[in-house]
Amino acid sequence: MSALHEQDPDIAACIARELVRQEEGLELIASENFVSRAVMEAAGSVLTNKYAEGLPGKRYYGGCVHVDDAENLARTRAKELFGAAWVNVQPHSGASANMAIYLAFLKPGDTLLGLNLAHGGHLTHGSPVNFSGLLYNAEFYGVEADGPLEGRIDMDKVREQALAVKPKLISIGASAYSRDFDYAAFRSIADEVGAFLWMDMAHTAGLIATKLLNDPLPHCHVVSTTTHKTLRGTRGGMLLLGKDYENPFGKTAPKSGRLKMMSELLDSAVFPGVQGGPLMHIIAAKAVAFGEALRPDFREYCRSVMANAKAMAAEFTSLGYRIVSGGTDNHLMLLDLTSRNVTGKVAEEALSRAEITVNKNMVPFDRNSPLVTSGIRLGTPAMTSRGLKVEDFRRIARLMDRVLSAPIDEGVAAAVRGEVHALCKAYPLYA
Ligand SMILES: Cc1ncc(COP(=O)(O)O)c(C=O)c1O
């Protein structure tokens, strides 16, 4: 990055310091990962210069021949990866992919049924501070407080809630739920109440692509994702259909009068519906990441992500911590710190002094506010990308326990920080 150093040393210094932070600390934020150098090179390429509104072969700008190739590669690879009939790789982020779904399937005021944000859901699934809760009538299902399904979704309750509120769209997917979903059960509820079914697999896309978790595509009317979490690509979003179908809203093509396919409505919802020009450098970087995810070693990586999460959860449990729902089926877990008398906020700050990066997170039925919380969310994708193994994650749990047992003790933070640096040095980032 010699040009940047020369022209703008201030920004170059920010980037250099961030690289050191990423190299030296333990990254346990469940939604983060480390992309390959190849993905970064594509993301930092001359494709950022190109305007390409529209789709490959149907652009509103000239000079799109090469970006068309890149977008077609991204589309073909994504379809192969997920066994999808159709994808749109243009959403700038998970939130904009979700916005396109609302635009294609709902009218303002229609009812949506999604997982409660306070129980692990996402802002874009109907939170009152997000467009989804402001423009649509958002209703929620949640997880169980106790009993055999503690911390899990009870499908009988989802059905009761769906029958009561009669949603037009049911969303599945979460940002802090450590269990897999029963898509067939969701679909039968959606069919019973006449709702569309949407899975937002932002967190688990890599684990779904590698068939280590249940596959939503055969059951859902539409699927959205981010490309930067377990999928380990550049930041971005994507929409997918397991199979394409005629749109159920009677929308016809102007000249022929034929019913438009749902994929056409979704394409239009992305552009011109919610976005302008696509980020062609990011689309090329997505293509690179999809190519990586198609390789057998990506499946091994995802297997390790899950094994590492299970080992870490088991270690915390043996140290006396409560994990919401008792464990994890995927890449993340929610640690309830209530019995330790530490809030999520204090834990996040204390761990950060030891250079262990986590995020505070509400636990279901939390008595603390979202800015304080009673828990933290932990994920294994990023550090697994660096090569850490089961025994390392067990050790991380013990290191974290030392900090959480003495959250204001600077001596403990410093000692743990030293061990964190040594551990990270053994697994270099971008060696
Ligand atoms: C389930 C879910 N959907 C959507 C998003 C939004 O993704 P983005 O931050 O790319 O807009 C997230 C991000 O955390 C998420 O967890």
Q: Is the pLDDT of residue 58 over 90?
A: yes
Inside any domain, residue 21:
no
Q: Name which of 218, 245, 261 is nearest 83 in CA terms.
A: 218
Counting from 1 in the atom list of ligand 1, the atom nearest the Cα of 98 is: 4
Same domain, 218 and 300: no
Inside any domain, residue 376:
yes
- How far apart CA 282 and CA 70 sit, in angstroms, is 10
- 3-class secondary-structure state, position 155: helix
Q: Is the pLDDT of residue 379 over 90?
A: yes
- How far apart CA 426 and CA 408 sit, in angstroms, is 28
What's residue 431's pLDDT? 78
Q: Is the pLDDT of residue 150 over 90?
A: yes
Contacts of 12-20 spanning 24+ positions with Cβ under 8 A: none
From 293, 321, 342, give the residue that closes a domain.
293
CA 180 – ligand 1 centroid, Å:
17
Task: Choose which residue among 89, 124, 228, 362 to substitute to test ligand 1 binding: the one with the highest number of ligand atoms within 8 A of its C-beta.
Answer: 124
What's the full length of the chain, in residues? 431
Same domain, 215 and 161: yes
- How far apart CA 226 and CA 239 sit, in angstroms, is 9
Q: 8 pLDDT band (50/70/90 cuts)?
A: very high
Task: Evaluate whether 227 touches 235 at the Cβ level (below 8 Å).
Answer: yes
- The predicted-structure confidence for 201-215, as pLDDT tens digits, reads as follows 999 999 999 999 999
- 3-class secondary-structure state, position 307: helix
Q: Is the pLDDT of residue 398 over 90?
A: yes
- How far apart CA 279 and CA 52 sit, in angstroms, is 8
From 237, 266, 293, give the residue that closes a domain.
293
From 268, 293, 318, give the residue that closes a domain.
293
What's residue 1's pLDDT? 81
Inside any domain, residue 7:
no
Same domain, 230 and 107: yes
Query: What does residue 35 show for φ and ψ, rounded to 5 degrees?
Result: -80, 165
Query: What does residue 200 show for φ and ψ, rounded to 5 degrees?
Result: -100, 100
Task: Choose which residue among 208, 226, 231 to substitute to test ligand 1 binding: the one with the highest number of ligand atoms within 8 A of its C-beta.
Answer: 226
Task: Choose which residue among 175, 224, 234 to substitute to test ligand 1 binding: the one with the highest number of ligand atoms within 8 A of its C-beta.
Answer: 175
Q: Identify the H or E element spanning 345.
A: helix 344-353
- The predicted-structure confidence for 34-43, as pLDDT tens digits, reads as follows 999 999 999 9
Inside any domain, residue 233:
yes
CATH number at residue 326: 3.90.1150.10
DSSP 37-50: HHHHHHHTSGGGG-
What's residue 377's pLDDT? 98
- The predicted-structure confidence for 101-138, as pLDDT tens digits, reads as follows 999 999 999 999 999 999 999 999 999 999 999 999 99
Which domain does 326 fall in, by range?
296-426
- How far apart CA 333 and CA 175 sit, in angstroms, is 10
Mean pLDDT of the chain: 97
Q: Is the pLDDT of residue 217 over 90?
A: yes
Same domain, 272 and 217: yes
- How far apart CA 414 and CA 420 sit, in angstroms, is 10
CA 24 – ligand 1 centroid, Å:
26
What's residue 358's pLDDT? 97
Same domain, 201 and 307: no
Inside any domain, residue 8:
no
What's residue 296's pLDDT? 96
| CA-to-CA separations, 346 to 245, 335, 373, 413, in angstroms, rounded | 50, 14, 9, 13
For residue 51, the number of C-alpha atoms closer than 13 Å in the C-beta half-sphere is: 6
DSSP 123-143: GGGT-TTSHHHHHSEEEEE-B
- The predicted-structure confidence for 80-97, as pLDDT tens digits, reads as follows 999 999 999 999 999 999
Enumerate the β-bridge partners of residue 226.
237
Inside any domain, residue 22:
no
Same domain, 268 and 186: yes
User: Bigger pLDDT: 431 or 326?
Assistant: 326
Number of domains in the chain: 2
Same domain, 342 and 221: no
List, in sequence order, the alpha helices (H) in 202-261.
205-209
Same domain, 323 and 401: yes
- How far apart CA 230 and CA 202 sit, in angstroms, is 8
Q: At what angle do helices 65-82 and 280-293 cross, to 10 degrees?
A: 40
Q: Which residues form ligand 1's pocket by a CB distance below 6 Å? A: 31, 93-95, 98, 122, 124, 173-175, 200, 202-203, 226, 237
Percent of the chain scoring above 90 in pLDDT: 99
Active site members: 51, 53, 200, 226, 229, 235
Same domain, 169 and 145: yes
Q: What is the dihedral of CA 283, 286, 291, 294, to 10 degrees?
A: -130
Same domain, 85 and 216: yes
Same domain, 252 and 318: no
CATH number at residue 67: 3.40.640.10
Q: Identify the H or E element spanning 240.
A: strand 237-241
Q: What is the dihedral of CA 374, 379, 383, 384, to 10 degrees?
A: 150
Inside any domain, residue 17:
no
Same domain, 259 and 385: no
The Cα angle at residue 364 between residues 362 and 367, in degrees rounded to 5: 65
CA 223 – ligand 1 centroid, Å:
13
Q: Is the pLDDT of residue 318 over 90?
A: yes
- The predicted-structure confidence for 338-368, as pLDDT tens digits, reads as follows 989 999 999 999 999 999 999 999 999 999 9
Task: Evaluate whether 97 touches 238 at the Cβ level (below 8 Å).
Answer: yes
Inside any domain, residue 101:
yes
Counting from 1 in the atom list of ligand 1, the atom nearest the Cα of 174 is: 1
